[in-house]
Amino acid sequence: MHEAVVEIESSKTGAVEEAAYEHPWAVRFCHWLNAVSLLIMVASGFQIFRAFPSFGAKIPQKDLLNWPKAFALGGWLGGGLQWHLTFVWIYIGTGLFYLGYQMISGNYRQVLFTPRDLPGVWPMMHYYFFFGPKPVIREVYNPLQKLAYTSVLGLGVLSVVTGMAVWKPVQFSWLAWIVGGFHWARICGMEEKSRISSSPPGLKSCTGWNPNAVIHDCCRETS
């Protein structure tokens, strides 16, 4: 993997250190394109949700919430569907491109969570959440980071499956059956979008407001 080495000034010591981008251009491109796609799908999804703002029975209908129209994209149900379906295909295409690049380049070895990473999960959790000792880092990504990157791929696949089941419940009735029916496909679809958006890889795509987070995540010190 080709890396662009840059010089940065340490915020702690003031010393100038060399750092290198961890992520190649293809991965960064997919992250940002997915960030845009997710934002638009969430906004248009809320417009679609406004047509039937409930997860219960249609008769009698009990609205879960009255989502403000100003925070929905599309103007009406048809417009929301057009926005949503357009960026669904961009989302799927980006995911396929990302997976293809990872497999062909071998870059997936850096982020794939494997059984040998399992023993390192608790030490990292103990360090992050309970202020324990910092585990020795022997790879680019620690086990928790690998778990986040690997699990978000599964969530992405599940969001596509539930989306297809909701979009074409007759043609893809077998997909709806897998997730427990149309009702549960609709619930899971919204839940998976929220999980992807709030997961570390999903948040990282939208951290332009936090330069420290970007530098910390995109650069590593080289020996």
Q: Which residues make Cβ contacts (< 8 Å) with residue 122, sequence separation at least 6?
A: none
Q: Which domain holds residue 76?
A: 25-106
Residue 31 lies in a domain: yes
Residue 87: half-sphere exposure toward Cβ, Cα within 13 Å: 20
Which residue in 109, 157, 145 sits closest to 217, CA to CA?
145
pTM listed for this prediction = 0.72
Phi and psi of 102, rounded to 5°? -60, -40
Neighbouring-strand partners of residue 128: none
Residue 72 lies in a domain: yes
Residue 76 lies in a domain: yes
Counting as low any pLDDT under 70, the low residues of the chain are 1-11, 17-22, 56-60, 192-223
Residue 166 lies in a domain: no
Residue 97 lies in a domain: yes
- Cis bond upstream, residue 68 (ω within 30): no
Q: Residue 196: what pLDDT?
A: 67
Q: What is the pLDDT of residues 127-180, one digit of tens each?
A: 988 988 988 878 888 898 899 889 888 888 888 888 888 888 888 888 888 888
Residue 219 lies in a domain: no
Residue 88 lies in a domain: yes
Which residue in 220, 212, 163 sits closest to 187, CA to CA?
163
Domain count, the chain: 1
